Chain A
């Protein structure tokens, strides 16, 4: 089904395919559905996709509006773009609530065809909607006009080389609601709501005006839940609607960005984690006491935290690699920073982290305490997106969802300069002065060894560059025998071919190397031709697909994969020690690309003491 080939190491025998997204092919899709249906002995489709409309009134406690949520029938040629509803546990899952995506049944999703339009945001009866009853048609017609879609103006600047800097704090488009054309045209929506349908967060628009829309989402989820089942994914043309249920909290993503289901679900997971980081899981109790509890006031002032996280889904590989990245630094400097952080941890601090933007300079943890890379991502996102931390030293409660979702820790945060900051985490609410003293000790070490200026230089220079990779002489002199690009010219000319022009040697544009043992990754800087934010985003999306297909359960274990389409040649190599993702020019020679990947791995190994944090990491305990 996928275009991957499996072997123990990169070789030149891989197949090539221009199809990056096999599941988007209607033919493949229906075949897959067919076979899955057969394999699961399903004689009848589930209720959700049964019939041309669905009445949710009966299953909805909250519903004053007994309405047809999905009344509009397919208006954009439902022949090939039928809706598939992916559900888990169709066989005997009744009464069982599962929220873990890793459940065994989740590995065998069922996709079903149904001639039914998904819930439209314009079904009648919403608060925010007046006089736009024909809206269903216009909403989904908008899919066809993807070229004209409203783009995130602040994010898509074509000159942004450091795209994390392109993000502006705060929520945008608050004036919108589900009746606004612009709102409906947004490519990617995120919603958090309560199980009574109360809105908690929306990426775009005012939550309170989206009450009707939230109620609809809630109705869909609870309708399926009432049938002893769970809805994970609804596909509607280009749109995917991904659901995640976390106790009384529902999270929904509606996207036409062609990202993988797995990654969108991972994004919802991170969004939930960010909320837990701010409030802890004890919010669940508020819903136990009062099902109609309004959570929005509790999240007051945190819009920037969420919008920054959503933005990071498109630029920060940590969001899908589940690893963290270090600022490249001379080994000795990282060592001396590490040892002062260790000292600090020995004095009763749970975690001590020195960070530069989202990159780790060094970190340490108390004995047996381990920090999950996702917690680190959410923590640095929280600190980096909250402006007030830069103003003065702060002491504030935060929760690490992977460490302990139930309890607050107390975080001392201090910025040494615009980018570099220290975070000291403790369980003791009265430890401020102690942590302040620790910071002073750390600062003294940093000043004495001139570490802060080295850190500044490193962040300005950036990380590894594909252009700087040393080219093995043997590679230069050995033209590939499998070359299919007419490169039978003589040696010197060929050499010029590969070293000038775009990207690094042999058409290497970009790579990411993830050390499995260290939970860390190193990613090369973007270089021409991948320069604009849009190109970078598109490369990351290609990587995400590759990552998802390499980690797909039940099809496993893939070791290498080589894909070629009109945009890139992508190569992925997974070993027990590391994962390598590399992007090449689409016309790059495959054999040379594979050799180049070996070179990259060798180079990373040579530099591992500078680009990775070794030893001191609590991750490895």
Chain B
């Protein structure tokens, strides 16, 4: 996995702002580009999921995210389209909640993460689902992720609860483990498949 994933490959100067409209309009049908935001309580493993996906690394020492980190990663799907994810890994701390719209506004994908060993974090996930339904873009692709699936002996949130919440809200549901890399790539591939493809006629 490329460590240089955060280096941009687009022309500089053309884009301004966190929420520029290019996110919603991919460059062409074969090369999609999408803004993805990760939301969830602090300590559920959002950064670990991203670092596992982008760099193939896992660091057990917890590093509290400040504000939001930006990373990007491109994957190729089976139908030979490529998807470039521009990922906003937001901080889970309460003081940043009010700033979340800054990061999720204009996002094509929202990944809401909870920790399967923490009912508290599942509650927080429900909060984010509601928040995004109210304020997110209407055609946003939403995924619900139960992380730390490797800790199944400490599980406190049943898989069914996650599935039910996802189903009710038209989300895609998956349980992952950033530690073992279980389902991490599957998560992003599935998101890639669900992205709306631009119709040739659209501007």
Residues of chain A touching chain B, judged by Cβ–Cβ distance below 8 Å, are 278-279, 297-302, 304, 382, 386-389, 391-398, 411, 429-434, 436-437, 440
The answer to whether A387 touches B64, judged by C-beta atoms less than 8 angstroms apart, is yes
Given contacts A298-B95, A430-B19, contact A388 B8 (CB under 8 A): no
Q: Determine if B151 is an interface residue (Cβ-Cβ < 8 Å).
A: no
* Closest chain B CB from A380 CB (angstroms): 14
Q: How many residues of B contact A (CB 8 A)?
A: 31
| B93 on the A face (CB < 8 A) | yes
State in angstroms the CA–CA spacing of A130 and B19 once bound together.
Answer: 55
Provide the bound-state CA to CA distance between A411 and B70, in Å. Answer: 13
Q: Are B95 and A278 in contact (CB under 8 A)?
A: yes
Q: Cβ of B93: which chain A residues have Cβ within 8 Å of it?
A: 298, 300-301
A388 and B64 form a contact (CB under 8 A):
yes
B70 and chain A: residue at smallest CB distance: A393
Rounded to whole angstroms, the CA-CA distance of A273 and B42 in the bound complex is: 24
Residue among B61, B71, B93, B95 facing the most chain A CB atoms (10 A cut-off): B95
Given A298-B94, A429-B18, A437-B13, residue A391 in contact with residue B8 (CB < 8 A): no
Q: How far is the CB of A400 from chain B (nearest CB, A)?
A: 15
**Do the beta carbons of B16 and A430 come within 8 Å of each other?**
yes
Q: B107 to chain A: closest CB distance in Å?
A: 13
List of A residues within 8 angstroms of B12 by Cβ: 437, 440
Residue B49, interface by CB 8 Å? no
Q: Does B27 contact A (CB under 8 A)?
A: no
Minimum-distance CB pairs A-B, first 6: A396-B67, A301-B64, A430-B17, A387-B63, A437-B12, A392-B69
7 more contacts with CB within 8 A, not counting A389-B66, A430-B102, A436-B70, are A278-B95, A391-B47, A391-B51, A391-B63, A392-B89, A394-B66, A396-B68
Interface residues of B in 1-22 (CB under 8 A from A): 6, 8, 12-13, 15-20
From B17, B63, B69, give the contact of A431 (CB < 8 A). B17
B31 interface residue (CB < 8 Å to A): no
Taken together as a complex, chains A and B put the C-alpha atoms of A300 and B102 apart, in Å, by 20
* Contact (A395, B68) CB under 8 Å given A429-B102, A433-B15: yes
Indicate if B91 sits at the interface (CB-CB under 8 A).
yes
Distance, CA A391 to CA B89, complexed state (A): 11
Complex-state Cα separation, A430 to B68, whole angstroms? 13
From A278, A388, A398, A429, B65 is in contact (CB under 8 Å) with A388
Nearest CB in chain B to that of A437: its residue: B12
Q: By the criterion CB–CB under 8 Å, are A432 and B17 in contact?
A: yes
Contact between chains at B18 and A433 (CB < 8 Å): yes
Can you name the residue of chain A whose Cβ is closest to the Cβ of B87? Answer: A392
B77 in contact (CB, < 8 A): no
Q: Are A395 and B6 in contact (CB under 8 A)?
A: no
Contact partners of B18 in chain A: CB under 8 A: 395, 429-430, 432-433
Q: Please, how many angstroms separate the alpha-carbon atoms of A278 and B95 in the complex? A: 9
A388 to B64, CA, bound (A): 6
B42/A301 in contact, CB under 8 A: yes
Q: What CA separation (Å) do A433 and B71 show in the bound complex?
A: 12
CA distance A304 to B61 in the complex (A): 14
Q: Which residues of B contact A395 (CB under 8 A)?
A: 18, 67-68, 70
B residues 28-68 near A (Cβ < 8 Å) are: 42, 47, 51, 61, 63-68
- Which A-chain residue is minimally distant from B67 (CB atoms)? A396
Residue B76, interface by CB 8 Å: no
Name B59's closest neighbour in chain A (CB-CB). A391
The reply to whether B64 and A394 form a contact with Cβ atoms under 8 Å apart is no
| Whole-angstrom distance between the Cβ of B120 and the nearest chain A Cβ | 12
Say whether chain B's binding surface is mostly helix, strand, loop, or mixed: loop
Q: How far is the CA of A300 from the CA of B65 in the complex (A)?
A: 11
Task: Determine the chain B residues whose CB is within 8 A of the CB of A386 once the complex forms.
Answer: 63-64, 66
Identify the closest chain A residue to B88 (Cβ): A395
Whether the Cβ atoms of B102 and A396 lie closer than 8 Å is no
Q: Are A300 and B17 in contact (CB under 8 A)?
A: no
Known: A301-B64, A436-B8. Contact between A391 and B69, CB under 8 A?
yes
CB pair B13–A396 under 8 Å, yes or no, is no
Contact A392 B94 (CB under 8 A): no
List A contacts of B66 (CB < 8 A). 382, 386, 388-389, 394, 396
Q: Which residues from B are CB-within-8-Å of A397? A: 67, 96, 99
Shortest CB distance B11–A (Å)? 10
A432–B91 Cα distance when bound, in Å, is 16
Contacts of B89 in A (CB 8 A): 392
Residue numbers in B under 8 Å from A299 (CB-CB): 95
Of chain A, the residue at the smallest CB distance from B101 is A429
> For B67, what are the chain A residues with a Cβ–Cβ distance below 8 Å?
394-398, 411
> Among B13, B42, B67, which residue has the most Cβ atoms of chain A within 10 A?
B67
> A226 CB to closest chain B CB, in angstroms?
32
Cα of A88 to Cα of B17 in the assembled complex, Å: 51
CB distance from B175 to the nearest CB of A (A): 24
* Interchain residue pairs with CB less than 8 A apart (5): A391-B51, A394-B66, A411-B67, A430-B19, A430-B102
State A399–B149 Cα separation when bound (angstroms): 38
Q: How far is the CA of A314 from the CA of B188 in the complex (A)?
A: 47
Partner pick for B63 among A279, A382, A388, A434, CB 8 A cutoff: A388
Query: Which of B8, B69, B94, B102 is packed against the most chain A CB atoms within 10 Å?
Result: B69
Are B70 and A300 in contact, CB atoms less than 8 angstroms apart?
A: no
Given contacts A430-B19, A433-B20, contact A388 B47 (CB under 8 A): yes
Report the bound CA distance from A397 to B99 in whole Å.
Answer: 9
Given the interface pairs A300-B42, A437-B12, the reply to whether A392 lies near B70 with Cβ below 8 Å is: yes
The distance from the CB of B68 to the nearest CB of chain A, in whole angstroms, is 6
Min CB distance A431 to B, Å, is 7
Q: How does the 8 Å CB contact mask read for B89-109 relative to A, with 1 for contact and 0 for none?
A: 101011110010010000000
- C-alpha gap A387/B16 in the complex (Å): 28
Partner of B70, one of A278, A297, A301, A432: A432
Closest Cβ of chain B to A343, distance in Å, is 14
Given contacts A301-B64, A397-B99, A429-B102, contact A392 B6 (CB under 8 A): yes
A300 with B16: CB separation less than 8 A: no
User: How far, in whole Å, are A429 and B99 apart by their CA atoms in the complex?
Assistant: 10
Q: B94-147: which have CB < 8 Å to A?
A: 94-96, 99, 102
CB distance from B14 to the nearest CB of A (A): 9
Task: Report yes or no: B102 in contact with A434, Cβ–Cβ below 8 A.
Answer: no
Considering only CB atoms, which chain B residue lies closest to A438 in the complex? Answer: B12
Q: Which residues of B lie under 8 Å from residue A382 when comparing CB positions?
A: 66
Chain B minimum-CB-distance residue to A390: B63
A268 to B179 Cα, complex, angstroms? 41
